[in-house]
Structure formats: structure tokens, C-alpha cells
Amino acid sequence: MVNFSPGPSQLYFTVEDHTRNAFKLGVPSLSHRSPAFEALYQHTQEQLRELLSIPKTHHIFFTSSATEIWERLIQNLVIEKSAHFVNGAFSEKFYKAALQLNKQAQEIKAQDGTGFSNPIKLDAELIGVTHNETSTGVALPKSFIYGLKEQNPGALLCVDAVSSLPYVDFDYSKVDSVYFSVQKGFGLPPGLGVWIVNDACIARSESLLAKGLSIGTHHTLPFYLKNGLKNQTPETPNSVAIYVLGKVAEDMVRRGIHTIRKETEYKAVILYNELMQHSSLSPFVTESTYQSPTVIIANSGKHTETLSNYLLEKGIVTGEGYGAHGGTQLRFANFPAHSKEQYELLVDYIKAFN
């Protein structure tokens, strides 16, 4: 079976071997204060920096998930006001997390299947934006995201890149925080989030703390930094996942990020082209500006269940449409774990479907 669900998705082909090796090396039993763990943490950081071109101006911390990071961002960086660009279910959940933490959260909303093009000035301490909305298959132009920082230099710009990394190439000088989970583009089992923050985020959290405000308990940015500078974590982490992530990132570095990006674009083009030509299917996102290369959504209407079962018989697992689109759409992940040959086969099967 090939898993084209957007997450948890297909495992990267080296994950099983790296996981076995982690157990052979005793990684699950390592103390997170030991030199062996520190070396493991450092290796994973170094490989992520090389793969994603993360500069030394930004720190890398490990959490349980990207969902947890929503809470940490609001707790650590916001006194009163945040603003959230919402173009799907996951960007909306971040907005609602801010409301639940009693912040004055502003929602700027786009219709499902569309995005944003004009950066605007906002009255906010933090701006949340989702580069690639997994629920709708909308990818926002990087120019829009960078424009938000230009329009709002005093706000911290925080980017959800859960289903776009490692494909997207960010200019980290134009964003304050980027975060993702590993069960999508990196092809790992779920259970690990990666939180990238710059010194402006650290300074903001320290300023809130100095004012006597609560920024959380065990998972504050100052505590993450204190431990991170020693290649440690605040508490006993998912050490196997951190180890495997480092090894997979190393594999991707060896493969070449340029090659990975070009292959991603090729696979996206052939699937979008087939959906646009198909008699029974169509792409949900119609404007090429917003069409995600990494999560491609098909309007399948009354054919949804039939197509899903047909592909399952061919050994292909699809992702269901999200939320209100559950019975009328199918979602197809396009991550490094999906080979060009698998994508060509997928397109051939869809072409043969009537």
C-alpha cells in the first residue's frame, strides 16, 4: 500500500531502518541530560539547518506536536492581541486556541479554496499565518507572508509550515517563527513537533515574564532556550523520533533539497493536469497562485467513495476531504516519501477511472 493521506502519511523509505538502529544503539533509554543525547540533539539540529537553510539567528526546539506550539506561541508571545489569517480548518484552530487563552484574537478569513494576496497593517503582537493549509490545499505566496512582516515590523510573524516543509524555501530573515510536525513532509510516525524561533521571540517572552505575566510553566521559551543551548530539552522527549528525524534529514541532504523540490513540482504538475482534464474530477483550488504543490485536493462529488475504493483496490490509500468536504473531496499528499513512479501510477489510475 502507498499512503497518499496528508498525515500521518507515507513513511520515508529509510525510517524503518533508522528506527531499528535507534533501538540497537539504546536511544530509547538515553537520559536527556547525557552526552549521548546531547550529541543526538546536535546532529538533528545540524541536519535540519543544512536541509532547510535555517540560520544561526533562529533556534530549534522540539515539542510533542505542532498543535502544542499554537498554545506555546500565544502563551509566550502575546499579552493581549493576535491576528490570524484563516483559510481552512487548521488556521482556524490556531485562531480559536488564542481565544481559548483569553486573548483578543482577530480573524481575517478567506473562503475555502482561496488565499490572501494583499498584506495589510494590523493591530497585533503576533500574526499567525498558515503557509500550506492541509484541509483546503491552499498554499499562500511567500511574497504575501513576507509582506505581512514589512507592513507589521513590530509584530511577530509566526508561520505554520506543517504540510509544506521540507519543500518550501523560506527566507528566515523575514519570519520570526516557523513550526511543523514530522508525520507529513518528513515521513515519520507522529509524535514530534519542531519549533523554530528567532531572538525576537525569546526577547518578547522574557519581557512578558519580567512584567510578571504568566507565559506557561515547564514549556516557556526561556526554559527551552536554557536547555537548547546545552542540546537538551525541558523534559524527557521522544528521543527516538528526534534521532530518526536527524537521520532522515541527513538522507534528504544527501539526496539534495533541490532535487526534492523539483520532483515535488513535477509530481504536482502531472496530478493537477490530470484533474483539470478529467471528466468526473476537478482541482478544488482553481487559482494556480494558491494551488499547493504538497497537498492536492480533488473535487470528486458523487464519485468520492467509488474512486476511493477503486484506488484502494490498486494499493493506494487516499486522504478524505476535511470537515464539511468529507464526502465530496479526496486529498493527495505529495511529500518526499512519494516517488515519481508512484505519482505517475496514481495519475494513470485516475485517468482510467470513469
Tens of pLDDT, residues 215-258: 998 899 999 999 999 999 999 999 999 999 999 999 999 999 99
- Residue 218 has a pLDDT of 87
Q: Which of 254, 283, 309 is the last residue of a domain?
A: 254
Does residue 136 sit in the same domain as residue 219? Answer: yes
State the average pLDDT for the chain.
Answer: 97
Query: Cα 350–289–159 angle (5° rounding)?
Result: 105
- Name every residue whose Cβ is closer than 8 Å to that of residue 226 and which is 6 or more positions away in sequence: none
Pair 200, 175: CB distance under 8 Å: no
Q: Which of 225, 254, 283 is the last residue of a domain?
A: 254
Does residue 237 sit in the same domain as residue 324? Answer: no
Does residue 19 sit in the same domain as residue 127? Answer: yes
CATH code at 20? 3.40.640.10
Does residue 114 sit in the same domain as residue 127? Answer: yes
Give 341's strand partners.
Answer: none
State the residue range of the domain holding 270. 2-8+256-352
Distances (CA, A) of 146 to 119, 202, 220: 9, 20, 26
* Cα-Cα-Cα-Cα dihedral sign, residues 262, 263, 267, 270: positive
> 94-120 burial by CB neighbour count: b if 16+ within 10 A, else e?
bbebbeeeebebbebebebbebbeebe
Does residue 224 sit in the same domain as residue 315? Answer: no
- Work out the angle between the directed axes of helices 257-277 and 340-352 (0-180°, nearest 10): 0
**Based on the structure, what is the number of domains in the chain?**
2
CATH code at 335? 3.90.1150.10
Pair 310, 353: CB distance under 8 Å: yes
Residue 105 has pLDDT above 90, yes or no: yes
Residue 354 has pLDDT above 80, yes or no: no
In the structure grid, which three cell numbers stand for residue 237, read together? 522527549
Does residue 229 sit in the same domain as residue 199? Answer: yes
Return phi, psi of residue 159, to 5°.
-115, 125
Does residue 225 sit in the same domain as residue 201? Answer: yes
Q: Which of 254, 272, 301 is the last residue of a domain?
A: 254
Does residue 292 sit in the same domain as residue 186? Answer: no
Does residue 261 sit in the same domain as residue 240? Answer: no
* CA–CA dist 206, 337 (Å, integer): 39
Give tens-digit pLDDT for 173-196.
Answer: 999 999 999 999 999 999 999 999
Classify 13 as helix, strand or coil.
coil
Does residue 274 sit in the same domain as residue 125? Answer: no
Residue 346 has pLDDT above 90, yes or no: yes
Does residue 212 sit in the same domain as residue 77? Answer: yes
Does residue 336 sit in the same domain as residue 230? Answer: no
